A and B are shown apart, each in its own frame.
Chain A
Amino acid sequence: MQEPRAESDERVPRFSEQRVEETVAVLQVRGELDIGSAEALRHALDEAEAHANIVRLDAASVQFLDSTALGVLLASAQRLAAKGGRLELMNASPAVRRILDMTLIARTVHLIP
């Protein structure tokens, strides 16, 4: 007769659910994002990342974005991904979407229409 397996037996399948609350920070950004504003963008993203694992950047009022600003977004997206979160970009203008598509960074930053 087979002995029942003890609770401590690693072969016994066990299931536990851990509720993870996703925290979302919405960051409203306005103006032109280039090398002159990259540091301010980096600082704003750092602050949002400190208390959220999903940062949603509302780009509705972003009039311009270049590859320097893109680098800041990419670094933030990578940091968030490393802790299980993500960077989302919402309301991006066609011009902003164009550079995201051109550089394939749209694969790393989640675009929300």
Chain B
Amino acid sequence: MNDEQVQLELTVPSTAENIPLVRHAVAGFLDGHEMSDELASDVLLAVTEACTNVVQHAYRGSPPSGGEIEVSAEYVSSELTIAVRDRGLGFAPRVDSPGLGLGLPVIAALTRNVEIRPLPPSGTEVVMTFMLDEP
């Protein structure tokens, strides 16, 4: 078992064009660690869904690029934790949502655990945990 902590920190403007950038950065981070293709796909999909929520909801009403997506990832032992944060309006139901509303259910299905927390003074943090494959 490896107890070494390996981390990734990334902050990008909250735009749709930057979501592939985040996904590819996380993919690069995953590359150095042994995991199944299925788990790697799950991680990238969950991160994409969380970032899409930021782009679609967090800074609505603000000018384009009015906010940022902060992504951090770390391995601790056999656990991978990825947090996606924004400093936007906060987590709230939205009747005029532009999407299908599948983002959070998909994240919940893909992760071992997901926590959604408010970030004072404003913003939201989505913390997703994945278990690496058993050897």
Q: Which residues of A contact B (CB under 8 A)?
A: 32, 34-36, 64, 66-68, 70-71, 74, 94-95, 98-99, 102-103
Contacts and interface: CB of A to CB of B under 8 A. Distances in A.
Contact of B49 (A32, A66, A98): A66
B109 to A, nearest CB: 5
Contacts of A70: 100, 102
B16 A99 contact: no
Tell me the dominant secondary structure on chain A's binding face.
Answer: helix
B41 A95 contact: yes
Interface in B35-57: 37-38, 41-42, 44-45, 48-49, 52, 55-56
Interface in B56-109: 56, 99-100, 102-103, 105-106, 109
A32 to B, nearest CB: 6
A31 to B, nearest CB: 9
A68 B98 CA distance: 9
Contacts, number: 58
Tell me the dominant secondary structure on chain B's binding face.
Answer: helix
Interface of B: 16-17, 19-20, 23, 37-38, 41-42, 44-45, 48-49, 52, 55-56, 99-100, 102-103, 105-106, 109
B44 A64 contact: yes
A102 B41 CA distance: 14
A74 B99 CA distance: 11
A22 B104 CA distance: 38
23 contacts: A32-B20, A32-B23, A34-B16, A34-B19, A34-B20, A35-B19, A35-B52, A35-B56, A36-B16, A64-B48, A66-B45, A67-B99, A67-B102, A68-B99, A70-B100, A70-B102, A71-B102, A74-B100, A95-B38, A98-B42, A99-B106, A102-B106, A103-B102
